[in-house]
Amino acid sequence: MTNNLSVAVIDYDAGNTLSVTRALKKVGAQVNLTPDPERVAAADAVVLPGVGAFGDCMRKLRERGMDEACLEAYRTGKPFLGVCVALQVFFEASEETPGVEGLGIFPGKVVRFDVGDFKVPHMGWNDLELVRPHPVLDGLSGEAFYFVHSYYPEPAEPADLLGVSDYGGAFCAAAGRENLAAVQFHPEKSSLAGLKLYENFLGWARSL
């Protein structure tokens, strides 16, 4: 893959797309913010941002045909990064919206924090601890990232877990398999560590 890597950022009215786009451009990506599944298919790499509720994100993806575009991007081996709620929609289901199916790439479900006196949603800076190495998270174990969420995924396959953070107990902060990696935190709100993650993603995408 050439250095002129084209990255499609999926625009489906459920993500912090502008800040993600700015961060990717800052580390040298050629970014196409698009609501068009065909442009996603034509890109070299794909980023799915996400904010809000699991069910709303899935509904908006399906309304735009982006659910199939995401699955096709994964199936065809495109380098694929998910951010925040996007991590959750890659799983099968969520307690937040019973009866709504996720994309189901990762086996497992999304659950609500049960952390006693800790406030929910979890908002603020927490350290990332890598469970296994991954190019997108290279050099980032121990770095602090910014989180805003009430739910987190529980991977059914231990090998899918890339990194954890701690909020009243350890929780999944990053997951990945094959050409897909996803994080619960907001890299674009996480200062230099976040930019490093996007830079790592570009390097990984060029290597695939």
* Higher pLDDT, residue 208 or 20: 20
The pLDDT assigned to 14 comes to: 78
Instruction: Name the pLDDT band for 3 (thresholds 50, 70, 90).
Output: low
The pLDDT assigned to 1 comes to: 43
SS3 11: coil
Instruction: Name the pLDDT band for 178 (thresholds 50, 70, 90).
Output: very high
129 is catalytic: no
Q: What mean pLDDT is predicted for residues 110-127? A: 95
Q: For tokens 């231990």, what's the residue?
A: 158
Instruction: Name the pLDDT band for 2 (thresholds 50, 70, 90).
Output: very low
Mean pLDDT for the chain? Answer: 95
Q: What is the pLDDT of residues 49-76, one digit of tens each?
A: 988 899 999 999 999 999 999 999 999 9
172 is catalytic: no
Q: Which CATH class is domain 6-207?
A: alpha beta
Query: In this predicted structure, which of 15-19, 31-35, 92-96 has the lowest mean pLDDT?
Result: 15-19
User: Which among 70, 122, 149, 188 is annotated as catalytic?
Assistant: 188
Residue 208 has pLDDT above 90, yes or no: no
User: Which among 57, 122, 186, 199 is annotated as catalytic?
Assistant: 186
Residue 140 tokens read as: 């980032």
User: Which among 70, 84, 143, 199 is annotated as catalytic?
Assistant: 84
End-to-end CA distance of the chain: 7
57 is catalytic: no
Judged on CB neighbours under 10 Å (0-12, 13-18, 19+), 142 is: exposed
Q: For tokens 């479900």, what's the residue?
A: 109
